[in-house]
Amino acid sequence: MGTEIFGRKDMSGKARSFKLITGTSLITMMMGSSLGASFGHAQGGDGDENFAFDEIVVVARKRSESLQDVPVTVTAFSGQAIRDAGIERPADFIALTANMTLVETNNAGSTFIVLRGITQNRNSEPSVAVVVDGIQQMSPAQFNQELFDIQQIEVLKGPQGALYGRNAIGGAIVITTEPPADEFEGRVKAGIESGFGYKAQLSVGGPVSDTLKYRLSAAIIDTDGYIENEFLNEKADPYKDISIRGKLLWEPTDNFSADLRVSYSELRTQALYYNIVSDVNDVSLPVRVNNPGQDDRDVISLALKMQYDLGGAILTSVTAYESLEEIYTGDAFDFLPIEESLFFSFLGFDLNQSQFLDMDAWSQDIKISSDTDGDFSWIVGAYAVGTNRYVSTGNMVDTGNGVFPVFRTPSTNPLNPQATFLADEQDNIAWAVYADATYQFSDTFEVNASLRYDEDKREQTTLTPEGYLPNVPGFPQGKFGEVRERTFTKLQPKITFKYSPSENLNLFAGFSTGFRSGGFNQTGVGAIAFTNSILGVDDVFEAEVAETFEVGFKSKLLNGRMILNGSVFSTTSENSYFFLFLAQNSTQNLGTVPEGKLKGFEIESVFRVSDGLDINVGFGYTDSEITDFLNPAWIGNKLPQVSEYTLNVGAQYTHQISDDATMVARVDYQRIGNTWWDLENSTVRKPVDLVDARLSVEWDDWTVTAWAKNLTDKQYNAEFSPGGFVFKAKPRRYGLDISRSF
């Protein structure tokens, strides 16, 4: 909606912008939830006009526009809203966004965004494009990182392929970090939490000279964990993350700028502490793995953004390089101590497992865009990305001496004998050209059209030693060094019409297309699946295409004191992903559903009840259906990982304690409806109800906050994977933070 929710001042007298940012999805932000609302204390007299929300600027269409005017379903969070809501990880803002959920799994690099029923899974391409400071992330394993020193987050719903390209099939997430400032400034934050653990954040920035500015940010979080491993008598989920980011902005002339961004993230945690159940609602089993395992991930990102004002048009170049390594190890099926395990009872030994991912990627985006003055605006551009990815997966015999990581070659460690091993390398090159144009026919009518062509060439080389490759009678025997190639292409159009019958009402309707590249499962998977009568899984999985029709509105009521937004959508998906674990060769695989249908709506509202009190309500509904599959018995079933609805309700109350101090109290409630997990619909997770709460006191440049997440200590499983693998969600956590701005 793009509105400043209140505009209270901090104790230094500086105006604080509490911004409610939402698009056509009506502000599901519960208390600032999806709207990006940061509730606060309105200044001024008693009239309704003093409570009106100020407009906010977003870059959803790759140019600066008022959020309330953009004919796109956008949920956004300003920097103040991010701090007010305690958003520190992607799960935090996703929990505040209608029709959006996050499936958290047993390793940090595998978290799955589900947006309007478009899903994601292990080893898959992303379901949404994630863009940080204009640079599109090249691997979904990067997404689940700490969020600190963030200026704004925007969530675009529905296919955004016309502007953001392949893998924007469900939408796009645009994250903008805080830029260098004209004057020296900074912020420091420290806290303790119930893990037991601690965290600290620091950001500083300012001018180096008249033409050069900088900003440095760092964050660390270290906790013992929350979930007990009863067999080892220790926490199963310790977590330590260190992240550093630096930015340099050089503006030597009025018409040229160069922005250099460097970041590094180091994560250390544990993995693979599953339970095996038949009912996703079964939370009775404790974690009892005999190997704590490890999950180590390192991410490096470098990017240079240059802009040149040509006079009437702006030339922008973004060059980026990213490197990611993740190794995780731990127990294998059935995740029980050796002598209690299924394998031990039949074979006399148990197994553990290891997976290694190593990825390097570069990208180049270059575009020319008009300045936004006038009735006609446009963008033309080209994009290219090259990715080299190596992945190995294997099982080792569990000798009771721990599990040792396996990287590029099978283990020769006598304490860690290799049982299964698969490895491959992918060299991918993709390119695209795109164009976007908007014409304002009158004060009330606008048309926007976008078109993008993507081509993605993928090459996979089998690096599994032949002794470990599957040998299935009737199928060709795989060979070390074997190369497979596939090219996936798609033309992605989008057209949107906007009609504004009044200053406080915008109506829009449109059609959009999204495309997600296909790819390769590991060599020999198709033969194993066929001999075990598993349908829809092969060595190659096809590209997915989604086509969406959408109608929506954005409105301001009661002299701007209430914002009400809504949208209705219908999507046809071809070759949507589903996940399958093949125990026969211990591989994680993707299959495709030939066709699925997704229909739903969002409605969101934020209302300023009184001076200092704001209420948000949001509801999103998605009806999913498998409409074509090789097994006709599954036609009509729900698509995996899709939740039927999300409900958000929130309130934030601001009270002036004294001339020098302000209290802010906030409560967020989220309900996630029935969620299905496999093609058979063998189990459905019942609705999950979660409550978060925060209480802050602010004075001068200081803020002290007591917080709690999952306040009612709801016990539920965050993931159910075919085969009965469940991953426990985090229980209640609470803590105390103190911060100071300077």
Average pLDDT, the chain: 89
Specify whether the CB–CB gap between 351 and 334 falls below 8 A. no
DSSP 333-360: TT-S-GGGSHHHHHHS-EEEEEEEEEEE
Residue with tokens 């446009």: 378
Q: How far apart are CA 742 and CA 188, in angstroms?
A: 8
Distance CA 716, CA 718 (A): 6
d(CA 314, CA 303): 19
Task: Say which residue, 44 or 701, is predicted with more confidence.
Answer: 701
Place of tokens 């125990």: 583
d(CA 592, CA 576): 5
- Return the pLDDT at 670: 97
Residue 15 DSSP class: B
* Cα three-residue angle 261-265-269, rounded to 5 degrees: 165
Task: Give the whole-number percent of the chain exceeding pLDDT 70.
Answer: 92
Q: Which residue bears the tokens 């796009």? A: 172
What is the pLDDT confidence band of residue 585, given thresholds at 50, 70 and 90?
Answer: low
N- to C-terminal Cα distance for the chain?
30
Q: Could you tell me which residues are beta bridge partners of residue 656?
A: 662
d(CA 128, CA 658): 45
Average pLDDT over residues 718-733: 93
Q: Which residue has the higher pLDDT, 732 or 630?
A: 732
Confidence class for position 582, pLDDT limits 50, 70, 90: confident
For the stretch 5-14, pLDDT in tens is 323 333 333 3
Strand partners, 57: 66
Q: Residue 679, exposed/middle/buried by CB under 10 A (0-12, 13-18, 19+)?
A: buried
Least confident range from 107-116, 467-476, 538-547, 565-574: namely 467-476
Question: With bands split at pLDDT 50, 70 and 90, how would you rate the model's confidence at 272?
Answer: very high
Whole-model pTM: value is: 0.90
d(CA 358, CA 590): 19
Output the six-digit token pair for 638: 């729900």
Closest CA to 200 of 703, 737, 741: 737
Count of positions (residues) in the chain: 742
| Type of residue numbered 261 | R
Tokens representing 259 are 């922005």
Q: Which two tokens stand for residue 174?
A: 């645009």
Point out which residues pair with 381 in neighbouring strands: 367, 434
Mapped onto helix, strand or coil, the DSSP state of residue 223 is strand
Model confidence at 591, in pLDDT bands (50, 70, 90)? Answer: confident
Range of weakest confidence among 125-139, 412-426, 497-511 = 125-139
Token reading at 267? 């994560």
The model's pLDDT over 514-563, given as tens digits with 9 standing for 90+, comes to: 999 988 887 777 778 877 778 888 888 899 999 999 999 999 999 888 98
Of 109-113, 287-291, 665-669, 676-680, the poorest mean pLDDT is in 109-113
The DSSP letter of residue 537 is B
- What does the alpha-carbon distance between residue 295 and residue 331 come to, in Å, rounded to a whole number? 12
**Bridge partners for 664 per DSSP:** 654, 696
In contact, 190 and 219? CB cutoff 8 Å: no
Count CB neighbours of 636 within 10 A. Answer: 11
- CB of 322 closer than 8 Å to CB of 139: yes
Confidence of residue 629 (pLDDT cuts 50, 70, 90): very high
State the pLDDT at residue 64.
Answer: 85
pLDDT at residue number 285 = 97
* Top-confidence range, 70-74, 556-560, 598-602: 598-602
pLDDT tens digits, one per residue of 361-405: 999 999 999 987 789 999 999 999 999 999 999 999 999 999 999
pLDDT at 511 over 90: yes
Q: Which class for 568: exposed (0-12), middle (13-18), buried (19 or more C-beta within 10 A)?
A: middle
One-letter amino acid for residue 383 of the chain: Y
Check residue 54 and give its pLDDT: 66
Q: Which of 135-149, 413-427, 680-694 has the lowest mean pLDDT?
A: 135-149
Choose the weakest-confidence range: 48-52, 488-492, 524-528, 641-645: 48-52
Beta-carbon contacts of residue 346 (< 8 Å; ≥ 6 apart): none
pLDDT (average), residues 288-306: 96
Angstrom distance (rounded) from CA 515 to CA 160: 9
Question: Has residue 3 got a pLDDT over 50?
Answer: no
| Residue 334: both structure tokens together | 């059935």
Domains and CATH numbers, the chain: 3-741 (2.40.170.20)
Q: Which helix (H) or strand (E) element contains residue 91?
A: helix 90-94
Question: β-strand 111-115 against 212-223: which pairing, if any?
Answer: unpaired
Whether the Cβ atoms of residue 283 and residue 342 lie closer than 8 Å to each other: no
pLDDT, residue 50, reads: 62
Burial of residue 659, with CB atoms counted within 10 A of its CB: 0-12 exposed, 13-18 middle, 19 or more buried: exposed
DSSP structure class, residue 97: S
Query: What does the alpha-carbon distance between residue 630 and residue 641 come to, in Å, rounded to a whole number?
Result: 20
**DSSP state letter for 645:** E
Share of the chain above pLDDT 90, in %: 74
- CB-based contact 541:525 (threshold 8 Å): no
pLDDT confidence of 234, banded at 50, 70, 90? very high
Assess whether pLDDT exceeds 70 at residue 236: yes
Cβ(117)–Cβ(642) below 8 Å: yes
How does DSSP assign 16-44, residue by residue?
Answer: ---EEEE-SS---BTTTBTT-----PPPS
DSSP codes joined into one string, 401-461 = S------SS----TTS-EEEEEEEEEEEEEEEEEEEEEEE-SSSEEEEEEEEEEEEEEEEE
Q: How much is the pLDDT for 48? A: 55
**Higher-confidence position of 537 and 506:** 506
Task: Please list, in sequence order, all residues whose beta carbon lies within 8 angstroms of the beta carbon of residue 543, skipping any fewer than 6 positions away.
Answer: 488, 490, 515, 516, 517, 518, 575
Residue 621: pLDDT over 70 = yes
Which pLDDT belongs to residue 134?
87
The predicted structure's pLDDT at residue 560 = 85
**Residues 278 and 683 sit within 8 Å (Cβ to Cβ):** yes
- β pairing state of 111-115 and 150-157: unpaired
In the sheet with 725-728, reading across from the earlier edge strand, the strands are: 275-276, 725-728, 717-721
| The pLDDT value given to residue 79 | 87
453 pLDDT band, cuts 50/70/90, is very high
One-letter amino acid at 342 equals L
Beta strands in 37-98 (DSSP E): 54-55, 57-58, 65-66, 74-78
Tell which residue, 85, 103, 71, has the closest CA to residue 35.
Answer: 85
- What token pair was written down for 151? 């200026």
Residue 409: the pLDDT is 95
**Residue 202 confidence (pLDDT) above 70:** yes
pLDDT band at 627 (very low <50, low <70, confident <90, very high): very high
Enter the DSSP assignment of 81: H
